[in-house]
């Protein structure tokens, strides 16, 4: 299986590793938006990283080769989300990548899938869970574009305005 279409995007063309948001955006943003955005990113970064944990857990459970192919493509995409959010978090807050790594390691020790194990009984139920998660992400990230991201960077001229897609 080749790279699925959704994975053919280049992170560096979206946001550079050392990108920092210009002070003018902070001055122009409404009160509290930067602080709230930082809090949001601190949380979002690590929930994307949880994909690796779920992937490892599922592999240990035993899955079919076809499901494994799908899951590999899914993980590749999720990890790009993770790297992209790390860059956004760094660009906004200046938090160092090494600091994020330390936080991620501390968080990894507390991970527990037990509360949702009943939803992960077979490959079909796992697919449903992943699809549900994607729908939730699509809605919440779209809202976040309008509420937060849109205050800290230029819109692409090829896209509809934030929040109107």
DSSP label of 88? H
Size of the site for Fe ion (CB under 5 A): 2
81 is an interface residue for Fe ion by CB under 5 A: yes
Binding segment (CB under 5 A) for Fe ion, from list 30-38, 72-80, 86-94, 106-114: 72-80
Closer of 35 and 134 to Fe ion (Cβ): 134
Nearest distance from C-beta of residue 28 to Fe ion, angstroms: 29
Q: Which residue has the tokens 């305005």?
A: 161
Question: How buried is residue 41: exposed, middle or buried, by Cβ count under 10 Å (0-12/13-18/19+)?
Answer: buried
Closer of 35 and 56 to Fe ion (Cβ): 56
Binding segment (CB under 5 A) for Fe ion, from list 2-10, 15-23, 65-73, 76-84: 76-84
Q: Which residue has the tokens 């550079």?
A: 16
Distance CA 128, CA 139 (A): 17
Nearest distance from C-beta of residue 112 to Fe ion, angstroms: 20
Distance CA 25, CA 137 (A): 26
Residues near Fe ion (CB under 5 A): 78, 81
């Amino acid at each position: 299986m080749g790279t699925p279409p959704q994975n053919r995007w280049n992170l560096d063309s979206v946001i550079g590793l050392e990108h920092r948001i210009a002070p003018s955006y902070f001055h122009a943003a409404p009160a509290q938006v930067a602080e709230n955005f930082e809090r949001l990113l601190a949380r979002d970064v690590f929930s994307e990283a949880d994909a690796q944990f779920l992937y490892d857990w599922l592999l240990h459970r035993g899955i079919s080769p076809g499901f494994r192919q799908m899951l590999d493509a899914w993980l590749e995409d999720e990890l790009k989300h993770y790297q992209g959010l790390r860059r956004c978090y760094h660009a906004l807050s200046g938090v160092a990548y090494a600091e994020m790594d330390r936080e991620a390691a501390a968080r990894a020790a507390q991970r527990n899938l037990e509360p949702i194990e009943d939803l992960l009984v077979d490959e079909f139920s796992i697919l449903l869970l992943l699809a549900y998660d994607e729908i939730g992400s699509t809605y919440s990230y779209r809202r976040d574009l309008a509420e937060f991201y849109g205050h800290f960077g230029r819109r692409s001229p090829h896209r509809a305005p934030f929040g109107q897609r």
